[in-house]
Amino acid sequence: MQPALQSSLFDHAERRDLGHGAWLELRSGWLSQDDDRDDSLFAQLRDTIPWRAERRQMYDRVLDVPRLVSFHHLVDDEPPHPRLKQLRRRLNDAYAGELGEPFVTAGLCLYRDGNDSVAWHADNIGRSSTEDTMVAIVGLGAARVFALRPRGGGPSLRLRHGHGDLLVMGGSCQRTWEHCVPKTARPVGPRISIQFRPHDVR
């Protein structure tokens, strides 16, 4: 039996302490708070982003990665869509002071249906395995479950990440927790997630 979705733990975008220096924020409707164009952004990104399929070695086989991806450095390169720079600026206004550096990249994932997913993982911190960081994820399109679990075991969280929602993982979260977007057998439409990260986090 699957645990219940726990988005209700995050009423009013309150930050939740996950322990050991990790924290999580879920801001429902963040994209539309001061912007009435977010309903069309999903279609624009779906149709203009240079999506690519990846293949990955899994044990003795090379398999298709079950989603399409696109990665962009928003400082060094021209973004594929102007809204990415606008969202980056808004996130930097909110979080760069606390983070101590700006968000500089945007990684995008297109989940075409419930068969697309991403397995349990933590983002790689290229600079130091002991350093804290932030990853900010904007969801567009169909809502999907975003799950987190402590590394080494413990109670997990299953959050509803819907259209226009902002989810921020901070502190030690990438060192002490793992996250995933699981497959689902329920009929579900396509989803795009935009992951904003600082330098040397991927």
Q: Which helix (H) or strand (E) holds 178?
A: strand 177-181
Residue 161 lies in a domain: yes
Say what the pTM is: 0.90
- The CATH code of the domain that includes 94 is 2.60.120.590
Q: What is the DSSP letter of 89?
A: H
pLDDT in tens, 9-57: 555 567 999 999 999 999 999 998 655 456 699 999 999 999 999 877 6
Q: What is the pLDDT of residue 1?
A: 44
Listed residue (183, 190, 146) closest to 167, CA to CA = 146
pLDDT in tens, 167-198: 999 999 999 999 999 999 999 999 999 999 99
- Considering its fold, how many domains does the chain have in total? 1
Residue 59 lies in a domain: no
**In percent, how much of the chain has pLDDT > 90?**
76
Residue 145 lies in a domain: yes
Residue 109 lies in a domain: yes
Residue range(s) defining the domain that contains residue 114: 7-50+67-198
Alpha-carbon Rg of the chain, whole angstroms?
16
User: How far is residue 142's CA from residue 75's CA, in Å, rounded to a whole number?
Assistant: 29
